[in-house]
């Protein structure tokens, strides 16, 4: 593995974790909105 390649992989890993956390918080937000509304779930 070359030295040039490693920072890119670290960045990709960081973005992956960031997007995962973002999607998790989105799901929690949607879940709370769904619990508060008795009508259709929020997409």
Q: 42 lies in a domain? A: no
Q: 1 lies in a domain? A: no
29, containing H or E segment:
helix 5-36
Mean pLDDT of 6-24: 88
Q: 4 lies in a domain? A: no
Q: 41 lies in a domain? A: no
Neighbour-count burial for 13-37, b at 16+ CB within 10 Å, e otherwise = eeeeeeeeeeeeeeeeeeeeeeeee
Q: 22 lies in a domain? A: yes
pTM above 0.85, yes or no: no
> Which domain range does residue 31 map to?
9-35
Total domains in the chain come to 1
Distance CA 27, CA 13 (A): 21
Say yes or no to pLDDT of 24 above 60. yes
Mean pLDDT of 24-42: 73
For 33, phi then psi, to 5°, come to: -65, -40
Mean pLDDT of 3-24: 85
| Residues 34, 41 contacting (CB under 8 angstroms) | yes
């Amino acid at each position: 593995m070359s030295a040039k390649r490693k920072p890119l992989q670290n960045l990709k890993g960081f973005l992956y974790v960031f997007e995962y956390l973002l999607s998790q918080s989105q799901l929690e937000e949607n879940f709370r909105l769904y619990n508060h509304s008795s009508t259709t779930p929020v997409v």
